[in-house]
Amino acid sequence: MNTFQTVRISFPKVRNIVWTMSISHLFIEIYLMMHISLIPVFIKEFNLSLFQISFLISIPTLVGLIVSLLSGVIVDKIGAKPVLILSMGLQFLGGLLIAECWDIILLFTGVTLIWIASPLYHNSGLTTISTNTYDKELSRAMGTHNALGSVGSFLGLISLSIILVYGNWRLSYLIWAIPILLWTMLLFKVNIVSDTPNVSNKNRDPKLILSANLVRFLFSITTCQMGAVVILTFITSYMVVERNISEAMASLVFSIGPLIGILSSFFAGLASSRIGDKRFLFIAMLFSATFATVIPIMPTIGLLATAFLSFSFFAHSMFPPITAIVATLSPPNRRGMAYSAFISVYQVIFALTPPIVAKIVELSSLWVMFPISFVLIIISMVILKLFGERFGNEEWVR
| 195, pLDDT greater than 90 | no
What integer pLDDT is reported at residue 206 of this predicted model? Answer: 43
Give the pLDDT confidence of 59-117 residue by residue, as tens digits: 887 888 888 878 877 887 787 888 899 999 999 999 999 998 888 899 999 999 999 99
CB of 329 closer than 8 Å to CB of 213: yes
Write the DSSP string, 133-159. Answer: S-HHHHHHHHHHHHHHHHHHHHHHHHH
Q: For residue 390, name the pLDDT band (cuts at 50, 70, 90).
A: low
- Which of helix, strand or coil describes residue 315? helix
Mean pLDDT (the chain, rounded): 80
User: Length of the chain, please?
Assistant: 398
Show the domains of the chain with their CATH numbers: 1-193 (1.20.1250.20), 204-391 (1.20.1250.20)
Yes or no: say if 144 and 265 are a contact pair by the CB < 8 Å rule.
yes
Task: Name, in order, each residue with C-beta under 8 angstroms of 32's C-beta and a sequence gap of 6 or more.
Answer: 114, 115, 118, 152, 153, 156
In angstroms, the CA 277 to CA 328 distance is 10
What is the pLDDT, as a whole number, of residue 214?
82
Task: Check residue 123 and give its pLDDT.
Answer: 83
pLDDT at res. 310: 93
215 Cβ contact partners less than 8 Å away, ≥ 6 residues apart: none
Q: Strand pairing partners for 200? A: 397
CB half-sphere exposure, 386, CA atoms < 13 A: 11
Residue 185's pLDDT band, with cuts at 50, 70 and 90, is: very high
CB-CB contact of 167 with 38 (8 Å): no
Output the pTM of the full model: 0.70
pLDDT value for 91:
95
Integer Cα distance of 137 and 18 in angstroms: 10
What are residue 397's phi and psi, to 5 degrees? -125, 160
What are 397's strand-pairing partners? 200
Query: What does the pLDDT read at residue 127?
Result: 81
Chain segment 124-141, per-residue pLDDT in tens: 888 888 777 766 677 778
CA–CA gap between residue 263 and residue 261 (Å, rounded): 6
